[in-house]
Amino acid sequence: MSRASVPGLPSRHPIGEQLPALYAEDDFAQRFTSGLDTVLAPVFATLDNLPAYLDPRVTPADFLAWLASWVGGVDDPRWPVELRREAAVRAMELHRGRGTRCGLVEALRLVLGVRAEVVGDGAAVWSRTAGSELPPAPAAEVVVRVWPDRAATVDAGQVHEVVRALCPVHTVCRVEVLPGPPAGGEGS
């Protein structure tokens, strides 16, 4: 869709009606300004509807990528429009969870339509007692298990791409693609 020209769109503010009385009866002035009205009508229509352009739930589909970029959201033109809208709406929420288990699980569900479980903490250790010996080093690997949910199958390449983008750079992440929920529950 182009907002540059909309055939037959009337101007809500015709220039000819705003001219001094001297030009009100001038045929050339009225024809000239009606040509400008044709050019300005889409601009006025866009400005009159500006709040709708800033709401990802109702903005025109061709405006979604630009709107998502304002909030650092992910937008892929290959996704269905409704998924693109939801990703733009939830961009801030997803940013708050970036680098966490919940953030990774939710991003995988939203973007790829898969369920996920994250096991491991990426070698983070701590002690609750000041001055005590350090706890033993944990496994430095984070395991991300995924299985189909909304999607019929799981594309391992896409899962790796999302995990690489959202896991902290210092962690080692391994992805396991399962045919269904892991034994013992659905996890996170």
Q: Is residue 64 included in any domain, yes or no?
A: no
Q: Is residue 91 included in any domain, yes or no?
A: no
Does the structure show a pLDDT above 90 at 100?
no
Q: Is residue 153 included in any domain, yes or no?
A: yes
Q: Is residue 62 included in any domain, yes or no?
A: no
Residue 159: name the closest of 171, 177, 180 by CA.
177
CATH of the domain at 108: 3.30.300
Domain hosting 147: range is 97-126+139-181
CA separation for the pair 98, 83 (Å, rounded)? 19
Helix (H, G, I), strand (E, B), or coil: what is residue 121?
coil
pLDDT at 177: 92
CA separation for the pair 85, 83 (Å, rounded)? 5
Q: Is residue 29 included in any domain, yes or no?
A: yes
The predicted-structure confidence for 140-176, as pLDDT tens digits, reads as follows 788 999 999 877 788 899 899 888 888 877 788 889 9
What would you measure as the largest C-alpha separation in the chain, in angstroms? 94
pLDDT at 185: 57
CA separation for the pair 66, 132 (Å, rounded)? 52
Count of domains in the chain? 2
pLDDT at 139: 66
43 and 102 together in one domain = no
Kindly write down the DSSP assignment for every residue of 134-153, as one continuous string. PPPPPP-EEEEEEEESSSSS
CA separation for the pair 167, 152 (Å, rounded)? 25
Residue 123: name the closest of 101, 146, 141 by CA.
141
Q: Is residue 152 included in any domain, yes or no?
A: yes
Indicate yes or no: pTM above 0.75: no
Q: Is residue 101 included in any domain, yes or no?
A: yes
Task: List, in sequence order, every beta strand (DSSP E) within the chain.
Answer: 114-119, 141-148, 172-177
Mean pLDDT (the chain, rounded): 85
The predicted-structure confidence for 5-46, as pLDDT tens digits, reads as follows 677 888 888 999 999 999 988 999 999 999 899 888 888 888
Residue 85: name the closest of 77, 96, 95 by CA.
77
Q: Is residue 72 included in any domain, yes or no?
A: no
pLDDT at 184: 67
The alpha carbon of residue 37 and the mean position of all alpha carbons in its chain are separated, in whole angstroms, by: 36
101 and 171 together in one domain = yes
Helix (H, G, I), strand (E, B), or coil: what is residue 43?
helix
Residue 159: name the closest of 109, 96, 97 by CA.
109
